[in-house]
Amino acid sequence: MRKSSRTMSAAVAVLVIGLALPATGTANAALGEKTFTWKRPMTAGDCQISAGATWTLYPNGTARLDATVFSMDGDDAWLMWARLLDEDRAVLGEIRVSRSNGTKFVKNLPVQFRRYRWLANGRFDQDLFDLVEYVSLSKHC
């Protein structure tokens, strides 16, 4: 997603690699952050993230996910990988799970149709902050 509105067909594959998803992003120079907000729900299998999910990046190399997720089937988990892209959509790096070297964010969805708020913290190479123009997600349920 870019700092301007983008759209994509609702027919999203279970794994989306290197594609900008429908979102708007804003850079707030006063706060020193970049926020990328998805305007449409994202699905993978029986799982869905509601519209309005955001990744916020900070110049110190930290990142925060704020999303609402659910599954149409119980005992599921949403798996997600977030990549940072430059203006040419070239991969700059990935957001890593805080206090880990892993890049896979996981939210368990044990109860069918129950909506869960997902707050997750991540980190990335702070030297990339000024270059980030898009956030791309790969996902699986």
Can you spell out the DSSP letters for the chain?
--SS-----S---SS--S-BPSEEEEEETTTTEEEEEESS-EEETTEEEPTT-EEEE-TTSEEEEEEEEEESSSSEEEEEEEEEE-TT--EEEEPEETTSS---EEEEE-STT--EEEEEEEE--GGGGGG--EEEEEEE-
**Residue 14 included in any domain:** no
**Residue 116 included in any domain:** yes
**Residue 56 included in any domain:** yes
**Residue 7 included in any domain:** no
**Residue 122 included in any domain:** yes
Q: How many domains does the chain have?
A: 1
| pLDDT by position in tens, the chain (length 141) | 444 333 333 333 333 333 444 344 544 544 689 999 999 999 999 999 999 999 999 999 999 999 999 999 989 999 999 999 999 999 999 999 999 999 999 999 999 999 999 999 999 999 999 999 999 999 999
**Residue 87 included in any domain:** yes
**Residue 4 included in any domain:** no
Range of the domain at 135: 23-140
Q: Residue 90 maps to which CATH number? A: 2.60.40
